[in-house]
A and B are shown apart, each in its own frame.
Chain A
Amino acid sequence: MNASDPQARLRLDRIEAQARNQPWLHNARLFALVAIGYAGPLALLACSVAVVVALLAWGMTGASHLTFQEMLIYGGLVLGALILSALLLLSFFVSPPAPDEPELRAGEALPLRAMIDELRAARPTFPAIHHIHIDASLNAAVVQRTRFGFFGRKTNHLVVGLPLLLTLTPGQYQAVVAHELFHLDRAHGSFGAWVYRVYRTWATLNKPFATAGAAGGAMRRAFLRWYEPHLARSTIALRRLQECQADQCGAEIAGLDAMAGALVAMSWASYRLNLTFWPEVMRSAARDPIPPATIIERVADFLLADPPADAARRFRRYEFARRTPLGSDHPCLADRLQSLKRLTALGEAEFAGHPLPRGAADAPPAPALALPDSAMILLADARRRATDLVNATWKAAVIGRFRHEHALAKQHAKPDEAALSQAATPADAEWRAASPEIDLATVDQAILLAAAFLERHPAHPPASYTLGSLLLVQQDDAAAVPHIEAAIRGDSDLIGPGLAILLDYYRMAGRDDEAEPIRRRLEAHGQSLDLARKERLTVTRRDALEPHGLPRAEVERVRRVVSLYPQVKAVYLARKRVKLFADKPCYVLGVARTGGMLGEERDKYLVNGLQAQVPLPCAVVVLTLRNARIKSRLLAACPDPIFEG
C-alpha cells in the first residue's frame, strides 16, 4: 500500500460519504472503473472480430482467384482469427464459482427451508434459494451465479456456517437470512460479480503473456497492479453501505432486537473463539498432526462453557474502541449497531436476553448440537450428517497447517545435535529444552511458562516474542508490545514476524494511528532485507573475512555436500563480516575446481547447486584467476582447505 493507513482511512471516509450522500455519482464512478477494466479486453475483441470481418470481406471478393497454397494460408488466417476471437469472447463469460462447501440434500433442513419460504412470503421480491451449503465458519453468505456470466438463469446459493447456527437463536438467524436475502434481492453481489469477471477476464488474457515478458505483458501487469487495489478500495464503501442496508432489512423483518442481538452474538462468539478456541485448536497440532474429528461439537461445547470472568467487559471495551479495518467490507460491530440505532445492545449489562452469555453463566451445560434454543434446530434431521460433513471438510482444509505446526513442534521437541551446538548461550539451550512444553501447553499455560522463563532470562528474544504473540492473541496489547519490541531488538530474525503480527493486530482493531509507524518500520525492514540479501550473496575483494569458527560437525556436513561434486578440487570456508543484521553469521565458501578457463560456463550450475545444498547461509565463489584477490583474502582467513578432492 503506497498511502499511509491514516491517509487511506481518510480517502475511504470520503468515498463512504460519497456513497451515502451522492449514490448516483458513486455508482457512476464505479461503473466507469469497471468500464476501464473492460476497455482493454473489449478493444482486443473488437480488433480480432474486425480482422475476421476484413478477412471474410476480402475472401468474398478476392479469394476466388487465389492459388491452392494461397487458399490454404487464407483459410489458416481465417481460422486463426476466428479461434482468437472465440477465445477472447469466451474470456468474458465468467461466472463466480459455486461454493465448494458440501450441500444439503433437497429434503434436508426443512425448517430452514420453511424459514426462507416464510421470508419470501413476507417480502415477495426475495429470490428463491436453490442450493444450501454448510461450512465451519461463523458466518452466513449468499452467492449468485449466472449461467453465462452476463446473462442466463440465475442460481442462488446460501452458505450456512454451523458455528453461526450454534451461536444464534432461530429468531436471530431469521434476521441473518433476511439480511442475506436482501443482498440477493438488491443484487448487491452483481457488482462484485462484475468486478470478479473483470479480474478473471484479465487473468485469462494475461496468461499467454505471463511468461513472455513482452512489453505488452509488462503494460498489462502494470495496469493490473494499479487497477486491482484501486478497484478494491473504491468498492469497499459501497459494500459497507450495502451491509448496513441489509441489516436494516433484517431488523424490519425479524425485529430490531433480533438483528442487533444476532450481530452482538456473532461478534461475541467470534471474539471468544478467536481469543481462546481457535488458538487452542491450532496449538493442539503440536500434539497430534491430525486435526480433531469433531470440531463442530467442540465449538458447541466451547460456546456452552463459561467465559472468563472479565471476558464480556474486555469484549465491550474492545468493540467500543475498535474501528472498521481498512480492508474489511463489513463495518465493525459498533458501526453496524449505530446504523440500526441500537448501540445500546452492546452496552447492556451482561448481555441480558442474549442466549450465549446467559447460557454460559447460568444454564447447565447442554449436550452439543442439542441446544434447545439454538438455530441448529433449523437443520432438523440433517444435523448429524451436516455436522459430520462439516467436520470432515474442515479437517481436510486445515490438515496441511496442522502437519506443518506438528513438524515444527517436533523439531523443537527433538533438536538435532547441530541445532543444540548452535545454541550460543545457556539461555538458548534452556529455551530449546522448554519450547516443546510451551508448544504443547494451553494458551494460558504457555503464557505462564514463557513469563516464568523471561523472569529467569529477561532479555531472551525468542521467549519475548513467544510471550508477546501469545498476549497479543489474548488482545492484551499493552502487555504484549514491550515483549515484542524486546524480541525485535534482540534478534534480527524476529523483526519481520514481530512487526507483522503487530501491524495485523492494529489494523484488525482499526487503530490506524498505531498501525502506521509499524507499517513504516516493516517497509524499511523489507528494504533492509533486500540489501542484506545482496550483501550476503556477493563477495568482493573489499569484504572483511575471518576464520569461520564453526564446530567440527558442522564443517563435516559441508564436506559431505561438496564431496558429491567431482569437479571440486578444494574448498575454503570463512566468515564474512556484514553490516546489516550482523547478529546473523554469513560465510563464504571458496571453491577451487578442475577445468581451468573452459569450466567457467558450468560455474553457475556449481554455485547454484552448492548454495542450495550447503547447510549454511553462505556465498559461494569459484576461485579462478579473476578472483585472485578474493582468494588471497580467503586464504588469509582460512589457510587450510576444509575439503580436498
Chain B
Amino acid sequence: MPHVVNGIGTWYHGKKNVVTYDGVCGSCKGHVTLTSYDTRLFFVVIFIPIIPLARKRIIEQCPACQRHRALPLAEWEKIRQRVREAIEAYRKAPSNKQLAKDALGACLSCRDQPEFLALAPEVEKFLPREPETMKFLAGSHEVFGRTADAARVLRLVVAAEDSDEHREMLADCLLKLGLPDEAEPLTEHIFEKGIPDRVGLLYSLAQGHQIKGDHDKAMTAFDKCEVVNPAILKDETFVRLREASAKSLGTRTAIRPNEVVRQMKTAVARKRFLKVAGVCAAVALVAYLILALAQGMRRTIYFANGLAKPYTVKINGTPHTLPPLSATPIAVAEGDLKIETPGLGNATGVTVVPIRTSLLTRPFNNRVFVVNPDQVAIIDRVRVYYAAKSPSPPGFTFLPAQLLHEIDGIDHPFVEPPDSITTDSHGELHRDVLRVVSGGPGASPILLLLNLEPKIGKEAVARIARRHLVVEPDDTAYLQILQSRVTPDEFAAAARPHLDARPVNVEWHRAYQHAMEQANRADQIEKEYAELLAKEPTDNELMYVAGRASADPDLYESLAQAAASGDHPSVYALTSLAAHWLVCGRFDESAKMSKAALALKADFPGAQSTLNEAMMATGNYDVLLDGYRKMESEPSPANIFALGSEVICFASKGDMAKARDAAKRMRAIKIPLPPDKLEQFHQNTEATLAYIGGDRALFVSILGKLPSHSGKFAAALTEGQFDAAEKELPGASDAGDDDKAGTDFRNHLLLYILAMRQSRTDKAAAHLTAATAALSEGRRENRAMAAALSGKPAMPFGKLVRLYDSPQQRAVCLVALGLADPSTREEGFALARKLNYNREFPHLFLRDAMDAPPATKP
C-alpha cells in the first residue's frame, strides 16, 4: 500500500478501467462496494506526483479500510491474457465442464468482472443441467455481489438435482435477497430430518420473517430451531430474538435482528463495564483502606525540642534523641502515645498524647501533628509567597508552646521550602512552612522569648517559663520571667512544689519568699521556714533561706552566720551577709564575706559586685582599677562597663586626667547604638566626670542639654530648682523600667529633701507621702522604712537600718528619715555619710543636705 509521511511518500494517481461491485472486504469483513482499477504509483511531495514509479492494477479496494491488492499492470495484463485464453478454450468446447470451471475460476482469481459477465450467460446457457458447474457459477455471481443471478442459477441447480445441499444453498441465497417465504419450503427438510448443523438456516429464516414483520412464521421457525438443536437455547442472541418476536406476535412490526443484537451487545458491554467498574471501585476502596491503615500504622509525627540541648524521649517505650531547637519526624502508630522524657530526668512524667484521625478521611487529612514533650518550643508557621515578579514578604504566625499541635494546610513541615516552583498559574502562590523558633546559633533563648512576648502574649511567655522551670529547674533566669508575669499567689503556688527538692534550691526559695512577701504573707513564710528548719536544722542552705524569711535582722544575722560557717558554708549566706554588712556600713566585713563567697564560687552572681562596692566604700580604687583594666580586653559590653567604671574610679580618686583618658578610650569603642543615643551616652559620662570632679555647673550644663528627663531631674536637683525638678519627676521615674517603684520613691524622697531644705513644707509633705506610699507597695524592708518615714516605725531604728537595701538607696532614705524624724538624724546621718561613698549623683546633693542645719518640722 502506498504510504506518505507529512504528504511525502508514495501515492496512487489516476484511475482507469474502473470496475465496482458489492462484496465482502477480505480485511475488515465489511459488506461494501469494492473497486478495482488501473493506476500509477508516484513518489509524491505534498501529494503532488513527482516521480512515476510503477503502473499497477488495484484489486478490490475497500472504501472503509482502504485495504486492497496491487499487481504490476504488466502481470495483470498477462493474467488477463491467460483468462482470455481460458475463455477462448472454453468457447471452443462450450459443453466441457472442466474448461468452463477453469474459465470461471480464471475470471474469479483476478476479479475480472467484465470478462465474467460476458462468460457467465454462455456457461449458464450451455451447461444448465450440470449442478457442479452451476454451483460454481452461482458462487462466482455471489463473489461479484450478484445475489439475484446466483439465486437464478441455483434454481437451475435444484431443478437439475434436488438435493438437501442444493436446497440449502438456494434458501440461503433467497434469504439474502429478503425472500423468506420463498426460502421456507427449501428448509423444511432440516426440521423433518432434524439436521442440527443446518439449524443456522432455520435461524436465518426466522430472522427473515422478523424483518418482514411476520412473527407467527418467525416463531414457528424459532421453535423448529429449538427442536432440531436444543443447544441453541444457550445462545443468548437466539433467546433475545425469539423474545422480540413473541412480544410482537399479532402485529406486523418489523424487527431488525441487527438492532436487537446491537442492543444486546450494548447491554452486555454495559454489564461488563459495570462489573469491571464495580471491581475497580472495590479495589480502589480496598487500596484506600490499606493506605488509610498503613498511614495510621506509620503516621509521621514531628517531635519538637524547644530546649537548647538534646534530650532523649521514649515514645511507646522506644527511645529517640531529639536534637535541640528542631523537630524530628518519627513514624508511629496512631492512638495514645505514651511519652516519657528520661533525658529530662522524667521531669514531665508519663504523658499520654492522643493521635487520632478518622479512618475514612485519613488519606485526605494532611494534618501535621507536632508533639513537644518539653512544651517550651515555639512553632513558627511561615507563609512563603511565590510570584513571577516581586512576591509578597513572608508572613509569620507564632504558635505558643503546647504539648500537641494539630496543624492543617502545611506544605513543608520543618523543611525549607523550595526557592522556586513551577506552576500554570500567573498569580501569586504560597506555601506554608513550619519551623521551630531558634533565633539562630548562639542566640539566648531567654532573650528570644522576651522578644516574642508581644507576638505570643504574656500568658504564653509565663507558661513557657513555667515549663522551662519544670524541665530545667536549675535555669533560674526563667524564675524572674515567670515572677514578673504572674501574680505573687500564682507564683507562690507554682514554686511551692519545688521547695521540697533536696538539695535546697535557694533561688526557688528566695523567689517563693519574695512572692509571699509581695502577697503580704511574710508572717506565713517566717512560720513555714521555721518549721522547715526545725525538720532539717543542719542544712546550711535551709538555714540561710530561713534567715531570709525572718523579719528580725538579729535572727537573720545569727542564721546567716551559722550558714556561712562550718565545713560547707553556704555561698548564698556569705554573699547575703556581704550585702548585709555593706548596707550596715561594715565594709571590711562585707569585703571579707564577698571574698569568701568568691573563693567558694568564683562566678557567683552578686559576690563580685558587692566586693567592688566594699572596695569603693573603703577607697581601694587601685584594686578596683586593676580588675577593670583586665576587663578592658573583653568583648563588648564588658569592656564598655570596665572603662565606665574606670572613669568613676579615677575621678573619685581625683586623677581627672586618667579619668578623661578612660572616657576618651571609651569613645573609641564602637558601640552598637544610634548616633544620638551614643552621643547622649558619652555626654552622660562627661556629666558624671564633672559631678565627681565637683563641677556642678558643668554637670548641670551638660545634663540640661540632653533630652533625658532623669538627667534634667538630676540637674534641677543639683541646681536646687525644685519646681523644675518636680516638673521632670514623671519622666525621671519612668526612665528606669526595671525598678520603677524604687526610682519613684527615691526621686520623691530627693524632692522631699530639697523641699525641706527650701522650707516648702507642703511640697515636702506631699512628696514624703508619695514616697511612703511607693515604699509601702514594695518589699518587707521598704514597708518598714515607709512606716518609719510616716512616723509609725514598726521596729527600732537600730533594726531598721540593718534591713536589706542598696547602700545608695539606704543613704537617701536615712537622710529623708533624719529630716522627717529628728530623733534619728544623728545616728542616721552618720550611717548615711558612710553609705554615700559613691561620688556619682546624688552624692553632693545628699552631702549638702546632711551638712545643712536642721530645719523646722513640716
A392 within 8 A of B: yes
- CB <8 Å contact, A100 and B194: no
Q: Which of A392, A403, A567 contacts B228 (CB 8 A)?
A: A392
A232 within 8 A of B: no
The count of chain B contact residues (Cβ–Cβ below 8 Å) is: 43
Question: Which residue on chain A has the smallest CB distance to residue B80?
Answer: A566
The size class of the interface chain A forms with chain B is: 35 or more
Question: Which residue on chain A has the smallest CB distance to residue B231?
Answer: A396
Question: Which residue on chain A has the smallest CB distance to residue B77?
Answer: A566
> 9 closest Cβ contacts across the A-B interface?
A396-B196, A86-B279, A566-B75, A52-B287, A566-B78, A86-B280, A60-B363, A85-B283, A396-B229
Which residues does B use to contact A, with CB under 8 Å?
A: 71, 75-76, 78-79, 82, 102, 106, 109, 193-197, 199, 227-231, 234, 275-276, 279-280, 282-284, 286-288, 290-291, 294-295, 363-364, 366, 411, 421-424
Not counting A57-B294, A566-B75, a sample of 9 additional A-B residue pairs whose C-beta atoms are within 8 angstroms of each other reads A52-B287, A53-B294, A56-B291, A60-B363, A60-B364, A290-B195, A399-B195, A560-B102, A566-B76
- CB <8 Å contact, A392 and B227: yes
A75 within 8 A of B: no
As a 0/1 sequence over residues 57 to 74 of chain A, the CB contacts with chain B under 8 angstroms (1 = contact) are 100110001011000000
Chain B: minimal CB distance from A411 (Å) = 16
Q: Which residues of A contact B76 (CB under 8 A)?
A: 566
- CB <8 Å contact, A49 and B364: no
Which residues does A use to contact B, with CB under 8 Å?
A: 49, 52-53, 56-57, 60-61, 65, 67-68, 82-83, 85-87, 89-90, 100, 102, 290, 293, 388-389, 392-393, 395-396, 399-400, 403, 560, 563-564, 566-567, 594, 645
Cβ contacts A to B, 10 pairs, < 8 Å: A49-B287, A53-B287, A60-B363, A61-B366, A68-B424, A82-B280, A89-B282, A90-B279, A399-B197, A566-B75
Q: Which of B234, B286, B421 contacts A49 (CB 8 A)?
A: B286
Q: A395 with B280: in contact, given A53-B287, A60-B363 (CB under 8 Å)?
A: no
- CB <8 Å contact, B283 and A52: yes
Chain A: minimal CB distance from B487 (Å) = 47
Q: How far is the CA of A52 from the CA of B283 in the complex (A)?
A: 9
Q: How far is the CA of A90 from the CA of B283 in the complex (A)?
A: 11
- CB <8 Å contact, B363 and A57: yes
Q: Which residues of A contact B411 (CB under 8 A)?
A: 65
Q: Which residues of A contact B106 (CB under 8 A)?
A: 564
- CB <8 Å contact, B276 and A90: yes
Q: Which of B227, B231, B366, B422 contacts A100 (CB 8 A)?
A: B231
Q: Which residues of A contact B366 (CB under 8 A)?
A: 60-61
Chain A: minimal CB distance from B115 (Å) = 15
Q: Which residues of B contact A90 (CB under 8 A)?
A: 275-276, 279
Q: Which of A65, A400, A563, A567 contacts B197 (CB 8 A)?
A: A400
Q: Which of B230, B287, B421 contacts A65 (CB 8 A)?
A: B421
Number of A-B contacts (CB under 8 A): 102
- CB <8 Å contact, A393 and B231: yes
Q: Which residues of A contact B231 (CB under 8 A)?
A: 100, 393, 396
Q: How far is the CA of A60 from the CA of B294 in the complex (A)?
A: 13
Chain A: minimal CB distance from B363 (Å) = 4
Q: How far is the CA of A566 from the CA of B73 in the complex (A)?
A: 11
- CB <8 Å contact, A67 and B194: no
Question: Which residue on chain A has the smallest CB distance to residue B286?
Answer: A49
- CB <8 Å contact, A83 and B290: no
Chain A: minimal CB distance from B168 (Å) = 13
Q: Which of A87, A393, A564 has the most CB of B within 10 A?
A: A564
- CB <8 Å contact, B291 and A566: no
Q: How far is the CA of A90 from the CA of B280 in the complex (A)?
A: 10
Question: Which residue on chain B has the smallest CB distance to residue A400?
Answer: B197
Question: Which residue on chain A has the smallest CB distance to residue B279?
Answer: A86
Q: Which residues of B contact A89 (CB under 8 A)?
A: 279, 282-283
Chain B: minimal CB distance from A287 (Å) = 14
Q: Which residues of B contact A102 (CB under 8 A)?
A: 230
Chain B: minimal CB distance from A54 (Å) = 9
Chain B: minimal CB distance from A144 (Å) = 20
Question: Which residue on chain A has the smallest CB distance to residue B229?
Answer: A396
Chain A: minimal CB distance from B112 (Å) = 13
Q: How far is the CA of A563 from the CA of B83 in the complex (A)?
A: 10
Question: Which residue on chain A has the smallest CB distance to residue B106?
Answer: A564
Q: How far is the CA of A306 from the CA of B700 in the complex (A)?
A: 155
Q: How far is the CA of A372 from the CA of B106 in the complex (A)?
A: 67
Q: How far is the CA of A100 from the CA of B364 in the complex (A)?
A: 50
Q: How far is the CA of A361 from the CA of B291 in the complex (A)?
A: 77
Question: Which residue on chain B has the smallest CB distance to residue A49?
Answer: B287
Q: Which residues of A contact B424 (CB under 8 A)?
A: 67-68
- CB <8 Å contact, A82 and B284: yes
- CB <8 Å contact, B78 and A645: yes
Chain A: minimal CB distance from B229 (Å) = 5
Q: How far is the CA of A8 from the CA of B615 in the complex (A)?
A: 115
- CB <8 Å contact, B102 and A392: no
Q: How far is the CA of A52 from the CA of B230 in the complex (A)?
A: 47
- CB <8 Å contact, B79 and A87: no
Q: A564 with B195: in contact, given A65-B421, A393-B230 (CB under 8 Å)?
A: no
Q: Which of A67, A90, A293, A645 has the most CB of B within 10 A?
A: A90
Q: How far is the CA of A68 from the CA of B102 in the complex (A)?
A: 67
Chain A: minimal CB distance from B85 (Å) = 9
Q: Which of B71, B199, B280, B288 has the most CB of A within 10 A?
A: B280
Question: Which residue on chain A has the smallest CB distance to residue B287?
Answer: A52
- CB <8 Å contact, A86 and B363: no
Q: How far is the CA of A60 from the CA of B287 in the complex (A)?
A: 13
Q: Which residues of A contact B287 (CB under 8 A)?
A: 49, 52-53, 56, 82, 85
Question: Which residue on chain B has the smallest CB distance to residue A560?
Answer: B102
Q: How far is the CA of A195 from the CA of B493 in the complex (A)?
A: 77
Chain B: minimal CB distance from A226 (Å) = 31
Q: How far is the CA of A100 from the CA of B194 in the complex (A)?
A: 20
Q: A396 with B279: in contact, given A49-B290, A56-B291, A389-B230 (CB under 8 Å)?
A: no
Q: Which residues of A contact B193 (CB under 8 A)?
A: 290, 293
Q: Which of A60, A83, A563 contacts B280 (CB 8 A)?
A: A83
Q: Which of A86, A400, A594 contacts B283 (CB 8 A)?
A: A86
Q: How far is the CA of A322 from the CA of B366 in the complex (A)?
A: 75
Q: How far is the CA of A168 from the CA of B421 in the complex (A)?
A: 86
Q: A67 with B291: in contact, given A83-B276, A293-B194 (CB under 8 Å)?
A: no
- CB <8 Å contact, A49 and B283: yes
Question: Which residue on chain B has the smallest CB distance to residue A59?
Answer: B363
Q: Which residues of B contact A389 (CB under 8 A)?
A: 230
Q: How far is the CA of A87 from the CA of B194 in the complex (A)?
A: 43
Q: A53 with B291: in contact, given A393-B230, A566-B75 (CB under 8 Å)?
A: yes
Chain A: minimal CB distance from B268 (Å) = 15
Q: How far is the CA of A56 from the CA of B290 in the complex (A)?
A: 10
Q: Which residues of B contact A567 (CB under 8 A)?
A: 75
Q: How far is the CA of A526 from the CA of B258 in the complex (A)?
A: 49
Chain B: minimal CB distance from A30 (Å) = 29
